[in-house]
Structure formats: structure tokens, C-alpha cells
Amino acid sequence: MRLRHIQIGLWVMAGLAALAYGAFILRPQMNTQTHETTFRSEFFLADGAGQLRTTDEFAGKFQLVFFGFTNCPDVCPTTLSEVAQVMDDLGDAAAKVQPIFISIDPERDRRLGIDTFAHAFHPAILGLTGDAEATRAAAESFKTFFEREDATDATDGYTMSHSAALYLIGPKGDWLRQFDYGTPADAILSDLKSRF
């Protein structure tokens, strides 16, 4: 009986060792995979009319995605102006690109109107104001950052800080690259044209 116990104990230890060794061997590869092939950005967010919009509906198109908020007087209008310029300059190829503005301040932006703001820059820009949880999930899948900051001297007592980059998603939903804040429309345009 005692020997049998020891035998089982040894087998369990051998099994654990094999698992640990396997995990040790596989871990670096799994990490590489996460970075290189499984990085997909997705959103499931309501548009200005309250309809649920998802990444899948834009399959086959390039998506230019920017996270911001409409109470933002400097960074967001500047970036959306560049995006609008890109859409104008694309001409017929504009049909291949969907510009998307995702609000990271959705509650207030729903009240202020996301469509009037987005369309003031370009009618093609789709504005999205999901609920807080869906917005957080979308931001995480784009590996983008936003945070609410209390500020007594700001409108409604708070402002938002956020990643200011513009993200490019490919026709198969794959994350392709980001354009840093301040990238001029010409540079975005030539990058897009090189991919058509």
C-alpha cells in the first residue's frame, strides 16, 4: 500500500514537471503570437441614432479610427480635420475607407450630439457613443488609453485625457498601424494609397 502511494506521488510529480516544462517551452511562442497575429481591434457601439454598429460591418474596408470627445477643443478637431482632408483627397477611393470617431465621453456626447459634431468635419465620419462598458472594451481591444480627470475649472467639472493617435484597421479587421497625433493628411493619404 505504501509503495503504491509513493508510486502515485511520483507519477503526479512527473506529470507536473512535464506540464511546467511544456509551459516553459511554449510561453515565449504564445507571447509572440499574441503580438503578431492575434491582435484584432473590435467595437460593439451605438451610433448617433442608437443603432448597434460593429467592426464586422466594415469588413473589406480600411477603417481609420480615432478615440476622442466632442468637448475637446484642440486635439480632436485638429485630427478630425486631417481625417476629413484625407477623405476629400481620396476621391473615388473614399469608398474603400471608413473613418470612425469613437467617443470616450459617450454619455455627454450622446446628449450633445455625436453626429452633428462628426459630420461638421466630414459627412463620412461615423460617430459612436456606446455605453461605458462597451466603450472601455473597444478601447482595450485597440490598446488605447483614456481617463476621466476631475477638474473644477472645466465644463461639467471634468475633462478627459486620451491617446491621440489615429488607428488604421485593415479590410480583414487586422490592426495595421497607428498615425501619431499631428500626422498631416498627406502622409496618411499616401500610406493608404500604398495599400489599395
Partner 1 sequence: MKNLLPAMAFLLAAPMAQACETFTSGDISVQQAWSRASIGTGRPAVLYLEITNSGAMDDALLGLTTPAASMPMLHETTVTDGVAAMPHAASIPVPAGQTVALSPGGFHGMLMGLTDPLVEGQTFPITLTFEQAGNLDVTVDILSMRAKGAACDDAK
Binding site for partner 1 (CB under 8 A): 70-75, 77-78, 80-82, 84-85, 88, 112-113, 116-117, 120-121, 123, 145, 149, 151, 153-155, 159, 161-165, 180-182
Of residues 85 and 141, the one with the C-beta less far from partner 1: 85
What is the Cα gyration radius of the chain? 23
Closest to partner 1 by CB, 28 vs 157, is 157
Q: How far is the CB of 164 from partner 1 (least distance, A)?
A: 4
Question: What is the sign, positive or negative, of the torsion defined by CA atoms of 98, 139, 161, 111?
Answer: positive
74 or 92: CB nearest partner 1: 74
Q: How far is the CB of 191 from partner 1 (least distance, A)?
A: 18
Cell numbers representing residue 166 in the block:
489615429
Cβ neighbour number for residue 40 with a 10 Å cutoff: 14
Parallel, antiparallel or unpaired: strands 44-46 and 52-54: antiparallel
Q: How far is the CB of 40 from partner 1 (least distance, A)?
A: 20
- Least Å distance between CB 91 and partner 1? 11
Q: Are 80 and 121 in contact (CB under 8 A)?
A: yes
Query: Is 33 or 81 the residue whose CB approaches partner 1 more closely?
Result: 81
SS3 89: helix
Type of residue numbered 146: F
Contact 66, 79 (CB under 8 A): yes
Q: State the nearest-atom distance from the C-beta of 98 to partner 1, in Å.
A: 18
Nearest CB to partner 1, comparing residues 101 and 121? 121
